Each structure stands twice: as C-alpha cells, then as structure tokens.
Amino acid sequence: MPQQNLQITAVAPDPTLLDLPWDVPLAEWPDEVLAALPQGISRHVVRFVNHGGRVLAIKEIGETVAYREYALLRQLHRIEVPSVVPVGVITGRSAPDGERLEAVLITEHLPFSLPYRALFSQDLRPDTATRLIDALAVLLVRLHLVGFYWGDVSLSNTLFRRDAETFAAYLVDAETGDMHRQLTDGQRNYDVDLARTNIIGELMDLAAGELLDEDVDEVSIGDALVERYQELWAALTISEAFDQEERWRVAARIERLNDLGFDVGELEITTDIDGTKVRIQPKVVDAGHHSRRLLRLTGLDVQENQARRMLNDLDSFRAATDRQNDQEQIVAHAWVRQVFRPTIDAVPKEMRRKLEPAQLFHEILDHRWFISQQAQRDIPLPEAAKSYVENVLRHRPDEDALLGLAPGEAEQQA
C-alpha cells in the first residue's frame, strides 16, 4: 500500500481495517473484498465488506459530514433508537498518484435486513407497501420523541427487518439529521411532509419499473403514513382530561400505550382548582415494552412484535402446565428450556441462518396453526416444527426470497 496518513476514529479501533485497499476509490474495490448484498439507492458510493467475521457497510463521504454522522449514529445507538451501528471514520486516504480520496464512514450491516427495493424485486403481497409504511411511521415517531430531526425521511434511507407478521424499520442515513432537546411542531411536520413526498415518488418509481402491484395507490400510501404518524403521535403525547371519579382512566391510558409497544417512564397528573377534573399527559415514553419484558423474563433479545407473540405463547404454556401461581420468571425459564430451545434445535443447523431464531419460532407457530386447520386436530409443536422445516424452510433459499410475504403465505406457495 502506498504511503498514506490514515486516521481511524472509532470507539474500539480495529487495526486490521488498515488491510483494506484504502488507496483505491470505493467504486473500484475488487470483488474479492466485497460482500454480495442487496443495496439501496444512495447519493454516495457504498460498498459492503466481509471483515473480521462481520459485514461492514462503507460509505465515501466528506470528512466533516462523516464525523457528524458518526457522532449522531453513536448518540442514537446509546439511546437505543433503531439505527445502524457506527464503527468508525477513516480519513487521510490518497491514491498512488497522490490524489486525495474522500473519507469513509463505516457502519455494521444490519443482519437479516433489506432495502425496500430488494423487497419489491420479489413477488410480494399487495399490502407490503402498507406494512413498510407502518414500520416507517413508528420509527419516525420514535426519532421525534427523542428530539431527532431526520431531514431526509424516505424508504431509501431505511432498512427493514421481519418482526413477526410486520416489519421493523431502522434508520440508515443520518447525514441530514440533527439532535435537539425537543422538536417544534414545524420541524416534525416538515419531516412528515417530506416523508410523504419522498415515499410517493419512490413508489411511483417502483410502479414505473413494474415492481409495484398495479392495485397500489401511491398517493394514498403516502397519505397513510401521515395518518399513521399523527395517530401514533397523539396516542403517545396528547393530554387527556376526565372527571375525578374516572381515575381508572390513568391505568387504562398506560395499558393502551403498553399495547402499542411503549412504556410510560413518567406521567404528569394535574387537577383543576376545585378538584373535579384530572388531566394526564405522558412525559417520558420509551418504545419496546414487550421486548423489554421478554428480555427481563428469559434473556431473549428480540423485536417488539416477535416478543409479543412469544409472550402469548408463554402465557399459553403457563396455563397448559397449570403454573399460574408460580413465579413468572421461573415459568419463563421453563418455557425457554421446554418449548423455545427444543423448537429452534429441531431446525437443522445449516438452515438456521435463513431467519432469526425468534422469527423462526413465530413462523413455526403460524405453520402449526395452518396445518392444524387442515388436519382438523391440534398438531403438537415438535410435529409442526418438522413439517415447517420439510415443507417451508427447506424451499426458502434465503431470507430475502420471501421476506415480503406474510408467514401464512409460505405454506400456500410451497
């Protein structure tokens, strides 16, 4: 490698990063160092690299912007907002002829995730666009709750992962973002309006490429994002007033937020002068109610809707084994040993990389219901797992082959 003045900025610098061909423009990197992964649209050159047992996403970008985006991604990661994990920034690159090359921002590739265009390159069910929009609306609300202004909301700047029958959205590109103590209504509305405009344009582009179902109305999908965002934002932040005798509504409000997947960290309760009216308003709302509960009970760290499904199965196990009076955590560990682990272990090792364990479990439960309906009897879970492997999973080349399909459709297409 020619003499360079490389500088690595990272929390845990990896010296082996220096072995990559930093003296070559990213667009010209040889195939032997690249990982073949589907790539979204980006205004910058981006490449994926297998390195040190993980896949890294490397983006050429101006030095100042690289450091700024790296800092923002670190901040989002610390407060557990769904986003890619920053690895570092490398500057001081130069070509053999002395030409200065741009800095690079390095992030970890998000396992089992795909850009939206890769999803639509398959034969997908018509409501896939709606499910992606729902996921993006939830992500945007979570960002706004912590004071993050995105500035360039779009499907292109988002990655999607399966979360039971839905999707989970992750922020990928933060270079136009900014963190504030609290966003104004103007900042939030600008993000939402820009999201609507960008999404309609992206869907129209898919339609032009015949990648979108002809029944999909691009404008109505964009409008649906605004509606979903406003509905969720109101549920999480609006102030609610009721009579003093209706204090049960405090618990009802908290339960409703829990059902949406959010915990209430702080609640402001005030009464009027004569004490006849009570007003409540959530002050601190944290996403991940079900995933945090499952993690506390079992040590399993999964997506929110996957956790919701697994907690439902845990409740069924508790009732079936007549252990309603036992300590919840003890029953949860028994469920992991007797139900979850044996079900995952029933999947051959060479097939377990096709889906995350939690998604495998969810789909096996769905398959169990499907074949039980066909057989008109209750199929035991081990039998359902074996049937799922033989009739569904074995015919799936990888995650992106059926990522846009609802779990029940896999049986219908097998």
Sign of the Cα pseudo-torsion (378, 379, 380, 384, in order): negative
**Is residue 301 very low, low, confident or very high in pLDDT (cuts 50, 70, 90)?**
confident
Helices (H), strands (E): how many in the chain? Answer: 14, 13
Instruction: Return d(Cα 223, Cα 232) in angstroms, integer.
Output: 14
Task: Give the pLDDT of residue 44.
Answer: 83
Q: What is the mean pLDDT of the chain?
A: 85
Distance of CA 54 to the CA centre of its chain: 19
pLDDT beyond 50 at 401: no
List Cβ<8 Å contacts ≥24 apart for 139-142: 139/82, 139/169, 139/170, 139/171, 140/191, 140/192, 140/195, 140/229, 141/229, 141/232, 141/233, 141/236, 142/81, 142/82, 142/287
pLDDT beyond 80 at 303: yes
pLDDT beyond 80 at 3: no
Task: Give the pLDDT of residue 414.
Answer: 31
- Write the pLDDT tens digit of every residue in 347-376: 998 888 788 899 999 999 999 999 999 999
What the block records as the tokens of 260 is 């949406």
pLDDT beyond 90 at 384: yes
For the entire predicted model, the pTM comes to: 0.78
Residue 176's identity, in one-letter code, is: T
Within 10 angstroms of residue 130's Cβ, the number of other Cβ atoms is 16
Task: Give the pLDDT of residue 55.
Answer: 87
Output 1 or 214, whichever has higher pLDDT.
Answer: 214
Task: Kindly calculate the radius of gyration of the chain based on its CA atoms and give it in whole angstroms.
Answer: 24
Distance of CA 5 to the CA centre of its chain: 37
Burial class from Cβ neighbours inside 10 Å (0-12, 13-18, 19+) for residue 147 reads middle
* Cα–Cα nearest to 168, from 154, 156, 158: 158
pLDDT beyond 50 at 265: yes
Task: Give the pLDDT of residue 188.
Answer: 96
Mean of the pLDDT values across residues 305-309?
90
- Write the pLDDT tens digit of every residue in 78-115: 998 999 999 999 999 998 888 899 999 999 988 888 88
pLDDT beyond 50 at 405: no
pLDDT beyond 60 at 404: no
* Cα–Cα nearest to 156, from 310, 286, 41, 77: 41
Mean of the pLDDT values across residues 151-156?
92
Task: Give the pLDDT of residue 116.
Answer: 83
- Residue 58, phi then psi, degrees to nearest 5: -120, 125
pLDDT beyond 90 at 292: no
Task: Give the pLDDT of residue 12.
Answer: 78
Residue with tokens 């490449």: 47
